Amino acid sequence: MRKILKFKNTHFAIVLVYILFFQLASSTALAGGSLPLSDLIEPVINQSDKLKKEVNHALSVTGKKPEQIICIGVRLGKQYAALSAARVAPFSCQFAENKYLTIKAINFVKLPHSQVVTLEQFLKIKPTPENVSLTFKLKSWKWQKKLQ
């Protein structure tokens, strides 16, 4: 919780608290979780040349490196087995006090033998497969002056 209190902009902290409250109150046992922007470049941002250029421009304006930008995503709970504690879309990243990027993507799970299913379909598979990984399909993104 200390890290939340260090955010200069309270909107970002409020969104994190909202995600935590909403997800913990739901039956799917999800929670909020932070990750650096650098973790999103290869799997999500590089899917669009336009988004990649916009992110690189924002980084140059702020003088920050991708690992210095904090993003928030939903952290998966224990019922997701091999994906427990992984972060999934949507993601919200704070570049500056008045510059936020929200990225929407479809969350997929790559199963053994290269089969790909949605995260929702993965939950229905019994027994739950091991050796799986997350993959994303970029849907949209939006720059904002404050999180809503």
132 found inside a domain: no
Q: What is the pLDDT of residues 29-67, one digit of tens each?
A: 556 789 999 999 999 999 999 999 999 999 999 999 999
111 found inside a domain: no
79 found inside a domain: yes
Q: Which residues pair with 32 in a beta bridge?
A: 74
Q: Does pLDDT of 4 surpass 50?
A: no
> Of 12-16, 84-88, 132-136, where does the model show the most confidence?
132-136
Closest C-alpha to 80, from 23, 135, 130, 25: 130
Higher pLDDT among residues 89 and 22, named by residue: 89
CA 54 to CA 41: how far, in whole Å?
A: 12
CB 32 within 8 A of CB 72: yes
- Classified as helix, coil or strand, 103 is strand
67 found inside a domain: yes
115 found inside a domain: no
- The residue segments making up the domain with residue 39 are 2-105+139-144
Question: Structural domain tally of the chain?
Answer: 1
Q: Which two tokens stand for residue 82?
A: 């091999």
- Tokens 């979780």 belong to 33
Q: What's residue 78's pLDDT?
A: 84
Q: Does pLDDT of 96 surpass 90?
A: yes
91 found inside a domain: yes
Average pLDDT over residues 16-39: 63
Higher pLDDT among residues 147 and 95, named by residue: 95
- Tokens 């988004």 belong to 51
**How big is the chain, counted in residues?**
148
Q: What is the pLDDT of residues 101-147, one digit of tens each?
A: 999 999 999 999 889 999 999 989 999 899 999 999 999 999 999 88
- Pairing relationship of beta strands 116-118 and 99-110 according to DSSP bridges: antiparallel
97 found inside a domain: yes
Closest C-alpha to 144, from 5, 11, 53: 11
Which positions ≥6 away from 145 have C-beta within 8 Å? 98, 99, 100
27 found inside a domain: yes
